[in-house]
Structure 1
Amino acid sequence: MTNFKGKIAAHTITWGQEHVKALEEVSMLGYRGIEPWASFALQYEENPEQLKEILADYGLVMTALYGGASGGQNQSFGSLTDRDNIIDYNVRLAKVIAKCGADILVLGPGGIRNHPTTLEELKIAAVTINEVAKRTYELGVKACIHPHLWTELQDEGELEVVMSMADSEVVFFAPDSAHLLGAGMDPAVIIRQYQDRIAYVHLKDLTSKDATRADFPMLAEHEQLPFFCELGRGSVDFSSIIETLKEICYTGWVTLEVDESTNTPYHSMEICRDFIEEQLKISVKG
C-alpha cells in the first residue's frame, strides 16, 4: 500500500486479563504481531518455547514485552534500593523474549509521579537502565527507554537527561505517540531526534483533557469519551509520525495500543486496524 517499511502489531492490554481471547481476536483481525502482557508470558517462564508455539497456532509472533520498573508496586528506576529487583525481573523477561524469537524489551518507568524527577534520581535511573540493558543485550534483547505519563520519566527534559547518560551501544528508545504528546512533545520531532536509537514504537491516540462529546461526533451514544482512545479519534498526528518513520527508514515493529476499550476490545482494535489501512495506507498483514 505504501513505502512504509515497518511492521504493524497489536497490544493485548485492551483485553485486560483475557489473554487467550486476546490471541484469538487479534488473529481474527488480521494482525500478525502481538505484544502480550508480561504477566501472561511469565506463566511460560519455564517453557517459553510453548508460548511461541501457542502464538504460532494463532498465526502470531511476539514483538516485545513491557518490563522496566513495572514489575513491582511503587518501584522506580530512580530508587537505588530497587535496582537489584529491577535488573533481575528484566533479565527474566529477556530470557522469555529471546526464546520466543523476539528481541525487544520495553523499559516502562515506575513510581507514582508526585514531583518532577530530580537530577540525582535520573542519574541513578540511568545507571540501573544501563545495567539492565547490558544484561539483556547479552541475551540478544534490546532494552528500550519508554517515557510514560504520570511516572518518573515523563517530561522532555527528563528524557534528554536519561538518554544522554544511557549507553547508546545497548540502550535503545521506544516512543509512544500518546505519552509524548500528553507530556507536551511532538512525537515526530522526538522520533527524528532519536532516530538512531529507535528500536520499537507504540502508536496510541490521545484526546485533549478538556475534550467534549461534541468534539467526537463519531462516538456512539453508549460510548464514553476516554483520555486514550482508538487511532484516529484523538489529537495525535499519525501522518507526520509515519512520514518521519519512513524518512528514517524504520523497519521495526509499530504496535497499536488502546489501554481500555469504550465498547469491546475487538471493535477498538478493529477501528485502529481500519484507520491504519484506510487512512495511512499500511496493511497490518505486512
Structure 2
Amino acid sequence: MSAARAPAEWMEETMVEAKKLKFGVDLVTFFHPGFWGVDSYDAIIAHAKAEPRAFWDKILDAIEASGVTGVEPTFSPFNWRDAVKTYGSVEAFAAELSKRGLSLASGFFAELEHGASIADPAVQARILASAGDYAAFIKACGGEAMVIGMPMRQTPGAEPVEFVDLAAAQPIADFLNRLGALTAKHGVKLALHTEAHSMFCSSRDVDLFLLLTDPAYVHFCPDTAHLIVAGADPLKVIERHRERMVIAHWKDAIGPMPVDTPIDEKIHERHRPYFCGFGIGRVDWHAFVKLLRDTQYEGWAILELDAAPDPIADIAAGLKFINTALAPTYI
C-alpha cells in the first residue's frame, strides 16, 4: 500500500474489489425450529403447508434483512415448486424477489442423493424431466447454475459392499453428461456439489468424476465445509479444478467426521455439529479468497449455514467477516 493513500481510500477500493463476488444464501439455512418458533423439523414442514405465503414471505424478508442478494432454493418445503405454488407463477415469485432487491442465484437439485438407482431408465427419465423443469425455472428467474448433490455412499462395512470404483462411476458420469447437456439447453450450468458422504466428497472422488465428465457440460460447486468434514483439503481440491468452478458454497467446519459415521436418512443432521461460524473453523479463508482472486472468479458465493437458529444475524455476521477480515485479500 502506497504511503500516499489514506486508509479510508484504500478500504473503499478494497470493498469495490470485493463486490466482484455476489453473495447469496441456500434456503437450508432456514431449516431450524428456533427461527420458526416451533419445536421440531416436522413442525416447520407443517407450518409451510398450513401457511405457505407467511412461510415464504418470512424467508424472503429475512434474506433481504441479512444483506445478501441471492437465493438458492433447495429441498421441500424450500424448493422451487413450493415457491411457485405459493405465489401463483414463476413470474410472481421473480417479482417477489425483485421488490426486495433479491435475485435467484442458483437452485439445488437433490434428486440424485437418495432413492432408486439411477441406472434404472425409468428413474433417469424422471430425473431428466424434473431437471428440465427446474432449469427452465432457474433461467426464467435469472439464475445461472443448478447445483446438484451426488448419490450418497454406503456406510463403511455394510454388506453387500458397494464400491465407488471406475465401473460404478462411469455410468453415473455418463448420466451427468446428459443431465448437463439438458440444463445447458436452458442456459443453466450443472455444477456438482461436494456433499460429505456422497460419491463426490473426497479429493479422489472429485478427481474421478470431473475426469469422467465433459467440462463443457458438467461444472464444479465446491463446498468448503463439506470437503473438510469428508477429510479433504478444500484449497488443494479447488486449486486442481478451479477452471470448472462456476459457483461455490462458503461454509466453515471444525474438522473431519469419524470414518465409520453411519450414512442413512439422518446423515445431514449428523453433519450439523461439525459446521461452525465463518472464521472459527479450519477453512483458510484468506487463501481461499486469494485463489478466487487469482482465478478472476466473479460468480455467486452462497453462504450456507445449515439450520441456523438466528439466520439473519448469522448471515450478516458472515458478510461482516468477509468485508472486514477478508476484503484486503482481494487486492
TM-score range, shorter chain: 0.7 to 0.9
Cα displacement (A) at 1:152: 2.5
Alignment match, 1:206: 253
Q: Indicate whether 1:109 and 2:136 are aligned.
A: no
Confirm whether residue 28 of structure 1 aligns to residue 65 of structure 2. yes
Contact 1:204 1:231 in 2 (8 A): yes
d(CA) in 1 for partners of 2:63 and 2:56?
A: 11
**Equivalent residue number for residue 141 of structure 2:** 100
CA distance in 1, matches of 2:135, 2:105: 12
Over residues 130-176 of structure 1, what are the superposed CA-to-partner deviations in whole Å (9 max), with x where a residue is unaligned?
01100110110000111211222222222212111111111111111
* Number of the residue aligned with 1:10: 25
**Offset of residue 79 of structure 1:** 6.4
Paired-residue identity, %: 24
Tell me the alpha carbon deviations over residues 53-75 of structure 1, each in whole angstroms, 9 at most, x when there is no partner: 111121100100001534x7424
Cα pair distance change 1:121/1:20, threshold 3 Å? farther
Local SS of the residue matching 1:145: strand
Q: Is the 8 A contact 2:67 2:316 kept in 1?
A: no
Q: Does 1:42 align with 2:90?
A: no
Asked whether 1:141 is paired with 2:204, we answer no
Correspondence 1:237 to 2:237: no
Which secondary structure state, in structure 1, belongs to the residue aligned with residue 228 of structure 2? Answer: helix
Please give the alpha-carbon distance, in whole angstroms, between the structure 2 residues aligned to 1:75 and 1:55: 35
When residues 51 and 190 of structure 1 are mapped into structure 2, their CA distance, relative to the original with a 3 A threshold, is same
Cα distance change of structure 1 residues 53 and 153 upon mapping to structure 2, 3 Å threshold: same
- SS of the residue corresponding to residue 22 of structure 1 reads helix
Does 1:162 pair with 2:209?
yes
Q: 1:51 aligns with which of 93, 97, 101?
A: 93
* 2:48 counterpart residue number: none
**1:228 positional shift:** 1.1
8 A contact 2:144–2:188 mirrored in 1: yes
Q: Secondary structure at the match of 2:273?
A: coil
Q: Which residue of 1 aligns with 2:40?
A: none
CA distance in 2: counterparts of 1:69 and 1:36, whole angstroms: 13
Structure 2: which amino acid aligns with 1:266? Answer: I
- 2:222 maps to amino acid: P
Structure 1 alignment gaps of length 5 or more: 211-224
Alignment of 1:61 with 2:108, yes or no, is: no
Q: Which has the larger helix fraction?
A: 2
TM-score of the two chains, using structure 2 as the length reference = 0.74
Q: Structure 1 residues 25, 136: closer, same or farther in 2, change over 3 A?
A: same
Relative distance call for 1:276 and 1:146 in structure 2 (3 A) is same
Q: How far apart, CA to CA, are the structure 2 residues paired with 1:129 and 1:172? A: 10
In the alignment of these two chains, the number of paired residues is 266
| RMSD, aligned α-carbons | 2.3
Bigger CA radius of gyration = 2
Aligned counterparts of 2:244 and 2:110: Cα–Cα separation in 1: 17
Offset from partner CA, 1:180-232 (integer Å, 9 cap, x none): 1222222222222112211000001101368xxxxxxxxxxxxxx93112212
